[in-house]
């Protein structure tokens, strides 16, 4: 990484001004490892890395990089007049904390196959993601859990040990059968971790609405997986089938709206217009192109069903009813995407002993928020509610004020990190809408 001093002496500034000319601007070519991080300068999104930032005033430039799965990183770059600087920044993998408490205490603690001391123990250096936790104590049955840690999490795992021998240890619920012997235990741990990674990928693809890719991921996993995963992978494929059935009901609900004026909430904001048709590509609509309240013409666009916001999907899928445990797990996955562990619990209770229920429940448990997270979610829910109400330019400006207050009060919460992309998209659309208010104010009177 190329490092430049953040402080420049007055003499150097005067020299630069004399050579380059007063007011000459600089350019920064900003890269990150990995690439794709959102670049924010003074609250304004400037694209994703690698990005060229031109027309910058000389001096210190404060930049923030954000990428899902990595810690937000503020950096300082010194911009030089008339110069082009390349700056490469490595993003940090976020960590989480896990406290493991057993009754009785003094059990040996293993995380991902490595011994980490005796309980009670607090581990502050765990990477965000899935982990296998096993505790053992002589005279008691081994206890094992699969957990998932989000970035910045501070979870506590409490385990009540049951008297018995290690041979009485049950399987990790819904994942793989109990292991016997060191080699079998190692294979079982690898299988659990492999399945956890597949399910994480599955959840990410479901969140994006890409069910076809989710099914392909499961087919690939089944072809290369270790033993003991066939039941869980087959169950996961059935869950994807339930989600596809729900998608079909959304398509039918959209067809009933053909010929009417509608507003659909998408992942990038509201889209308004007349529904013309529903095709394999999505909802085909026509709308007006307007500038300063003047209609300039018509436009035709298509909203892919995968691009509908979760709230909009729920509205259109009201007629869909989950069938059996697979349908309930599908509902639970959708609840996880909304970060609603209570709704996930309700679906899991109805799912019974589904092969994926244990993993989904562990995931839901990891999402249970503290007071700060609850406050952040409530504040964001109010912002989303106002944004869905077809705001005027003045109301959009007020929403931007609320978003600025949200960043100041809740920007460091895990919830804020989880909605970073949605936050950036909504802010951009509200800025565009609020800009019409400024345009109207600049327009000559009588026009």
Residues 361 and 364: their CA atoms lie apart, in Å, by 5
Residues 150 and 95: their CA atoms lie apart, in Å, by 8
The set of long-range contacts for 228-233, using a CB threshold of 8 Å and a minimum separation of 24, is: 228/175, 228/176, 228/177, 228/188, 228/191, 229/176, 229/191, 229/194, 229/195, 231/355, 232/174, 232/175, 232/195, 232/355, 232/356, 233/195, 233/198
**Does residue 185 have a pLDDT over 60?**
no
Q: Which of 39-53, 87-101, 219-233, 253-267 is predicted least confidently?
A: 219-233
Residue with tokens 């990995």: 34
- Give yes or no for a contact between 306 and 246, defined as CB atoms under 8 angstroms apart: no
Which pTM value belongs to this model? 0.46
What does the block give as tokens for 305? 């069903």
- Give yes or no for a contact between 326 and 241, defined as CB atoms under 8 angstroms apart: yes
pLDDT of the residue at 228: 60
**Does residue 50 have a pLDDT over 80?**
yes
What does the block give as tokens for 27? 């350019």
- Give yes or no for a contact between 196 and 188, defined as CB atoms under 8 angstroms apart: no
pLDDT of the residue at 292: 61
pLDDT digits (tens, 9 = 90+) for 302-327: 998 888 887 888 889 988 888 889 99
Instruction: Note the Cα 199 to chain centre separation in Å.
Output: 15
pLDDT of the residue at 329: 94
pLDDT of the residue at 69: 61
pLDDT of the residue at 410: 86
**Does residue 19 have a pLDDT over 60?**
no
Confidence of residue 290 (pLDDT cuts 50, 70, 90): low
pLDDT of the residue at 168: 42
- Of 94, 88, 95, whose CA–CA distance to 34 is shortest? 88
Confidence of residue 10 (pLDDT cuts 50, 70, 90): very low
More confident residue, 157 or 446: 157
pLDDT of the residue at 179: 43
Confidence of residue 176 (pLDDT cuts 50, 70, 90): very low
More confident residue, 297 or 381: 381
CA 409 → CA 40, 376, 379, 380, distances in Å? 18, 8, 10, 11
Q: What percent of the chain lies above the pLDDT cut of 70? A: 80
Confidence of residue 403 (pLDDT cuts 50, 70, 90): very high
More confident residue, 446 or 162: 162
Q: Which residues contact 155 (CB under 8 A, 6 or more apart)?
A: 96, 97, 98, 99, 147, 149, 366
pLDDT digits (tens, 9 = 90+) for 236-275: 999 999 999 999 999 999 999 999 999 998 877 788 899 9
Residues 384 and 407: their CA atoms lie apart, in Å, by 14
pLDDT of the residue at 52: 92
pLDDT digits (tens, 9 = 90+) for 112-125: 767 788 999 998 87
Rg of the chain taking only CA atoms, in angstroms = 26
Q: What percent of the chain lies above the pLDDT cut of 90? A: 20
Mean pLDDT across 403-409: 91
- Of 375, 387, 394, whose CA–CA distance to 428 is shortest? 387
- Give yes or no for a contact between 391 and 270, defined as CB atoms under 8 angstroms apart: no
pLDDT of the residue at 167: 46
């Amino acid at each position: 990484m190329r490092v430049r001093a953040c402080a420049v002496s007055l003499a150097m500034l005067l020299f630069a001004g004399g050579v380059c000319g007063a007011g000459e601007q600089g350019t920064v070519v900003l890269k990150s490892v990995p690439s794709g991080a959102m670049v924010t300068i003074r609250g304004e999104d400037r694209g994703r890395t690698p990005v060229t930032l031109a027309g910058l005033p000389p001096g210190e430039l404060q930049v923030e990089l954000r990428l899902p799965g990595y810690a937000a990183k503020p950096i300082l770059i010194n911009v030089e007049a008339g110069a082009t600087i390349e700056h490469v920044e490595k993003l940090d993998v976020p960590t989480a904390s896990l406290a493991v408490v057993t009754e009785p205490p003094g059990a040996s603690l293993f995380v991902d196959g490595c011994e980490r001391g005796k309980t009670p123990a607090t581990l502050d250096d765990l990477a965000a993601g899935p982990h296998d936790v096993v505790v053992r104590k002589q005279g008691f049955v081994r206890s094992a859990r699969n957990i998932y840690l989000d970035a910045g999490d501070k979870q506590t795992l409490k385990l009540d040990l049951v008297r018995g021998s290690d041979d009485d240890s049950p399987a990790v619920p819904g994942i793989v059968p109990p292991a016997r012997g060191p080699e079998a235990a190692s294979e079982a741990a690898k299988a659990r971790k492999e399945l956890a990674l597949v399910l994480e990928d599955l959840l990410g693809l479901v969140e994006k609405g890409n069910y076809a890719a989710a099914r392909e991921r499961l087919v690939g996993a089944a072809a290369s997986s270790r033993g003991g995963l066939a039941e869980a992978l087959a169950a996961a494929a059935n869950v994807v089938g339930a989600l596809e059935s729900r998608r079909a009901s959304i398509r039918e609900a959209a067809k009933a709206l053909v010929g009417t004026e509608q507003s659909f909430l998408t992942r990038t904001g509201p889209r308004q217009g007349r529904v013309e048709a529903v095709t394999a590509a999505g909802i085909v609509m026509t709308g007006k192109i307007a500038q300063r309240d003047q209609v300039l013409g018509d436009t035709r666009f298509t909203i892919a069903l995968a691009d509908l916001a979760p709230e909009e999907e729920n509205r259109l899928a009201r007629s869909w009813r989950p069938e059996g445990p697979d349908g309930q797990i599908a509902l639970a996955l959708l609840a996880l995407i909304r970060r609603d562990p209570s709704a996930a619990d309700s679906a899991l209770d109805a799912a019974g002993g589904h092969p994926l229920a244990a993993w989904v429940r562990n995931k839901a448990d990891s999402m249970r928020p503290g007071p700060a997270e609850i406050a952040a979610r409530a504040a964001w829910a109010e912002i989303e509610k106002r944004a869905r109400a077809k705001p005027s330019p003045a109301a959009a400006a007020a929403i931007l004020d609320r978003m600025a207050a949200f960043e100041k009060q809740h920007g460091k919460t895990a919830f804020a990190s989880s909605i970073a992309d949605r936050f950036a998209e909504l802010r951009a659309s509200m800025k565009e809408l609020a800009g019409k208010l400024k345009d109207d104010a600049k327009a000559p009177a009588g026009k």
